[in-house]
Amino acid sequence: AKLLNNMVKDINQLGVLETFVLGAKQGLDCGLLFHVMRKGASVSRQLERILPKILDRSFEQTSYVSTNIKDQGLMEWMIGQAGLELPLRNAARDSWMYAAEQGLADADPPEAIKALEPIAGIEVAGELLPSDADVPPHGGAYDALDRMTAAMYEVGVFEAFALTTKLGMDAQAMYEVMRTASGASARLERIGRVILGGASGDPEPSVNDYVSCYEPLLAEARRDGLRMPLHEASASLWRRAGGQGLGSGPSSAAYALYA
């Protein structure tokens, strides 16, 4: 359960790094983006933990990129035993290795954003707003990045449950561990209950909602040459789900691709 939690934690953390690099490249206020996301669909333990460090550029050492690479190596055996292909998890593994190649192996994991910023020609920083700050309606790009990140979280949850099931582990126990640990997120809470059979899938967002959200954002990222492997892997899953006739269904229906 610990390794599975760490897998989801890594996915959430690295996906958030990609989101904020894209947001900064778009010229968004990164402090406001954090505020929108922590109040929105993409709130997660990792978002709350790493963004204050990034916005303040104060990377207090709590772990190491190299430790996450070691965990990913242990995951290889489990995934091999299950015989599964987990593209989002693979993108996370490759992203940690890329950060290490850029000289960040001994850095605190949130500092891996420094491997992405030079490509974009920006630095992610900003003011940390109080959690109860009263801000005007934001909309537009802020909401789109929130939704994109939530979509990526969901794919991470799908992969964790698929691996748990394939290995014959107790999915309910795994869920209970993750929802109180570093892999926790609002999407884990909602999608986990659906997968475990304890709740009906929300009608929104649909698979098509996620596809239509992703396309313009990734087109912009590609045009600017940004490195977005986790979001590319996530978008690929949603496109595949749409192509399998699941487009109008709730996003939770895409878990059927792992059955």
What is the DSSP secondary-structure string of 109-128?
GGGGGGGTHHHHT-------
Q: Are 7 and 160 in contact (CB under 8 A)?
A: yes
Distance separating alpha carbons of residues 160 and 86, to the nearest angstrom = 9
Quickly name the fold that domain 1-121+138-259 has: N-(1-d-carboxylethyl)-l-norvaline Dehydrogenase; domain 2 (1.10.1040)
Higher pLDDT: 238 or 134? It is: 238
**Residue 206 clears pLDDT 80, i.e. is over it:** yes
Is 201 a residue whose pLDDT tops 80? no
Instruction: List the domain boundaries for the chain.
Output: 1-121+138-259
CA dihedral of 241, 239, 171, 186, whole degrees rounded to 10 = -120
Predicted local confidence at residue 135, as pLDDT? 79
| C-beta neighbour count of 200 within 10 angstroms | 10
pLDDT for the residue 138: 76
Range name among 20-24, 79-83, 211-215 with the lowest pLDDT average: 79-83
Q: What is the mean pLDDT of residues 135-144?
A: 85
Give the other-Cβ count within 10 Å of 119's Cβ.
13
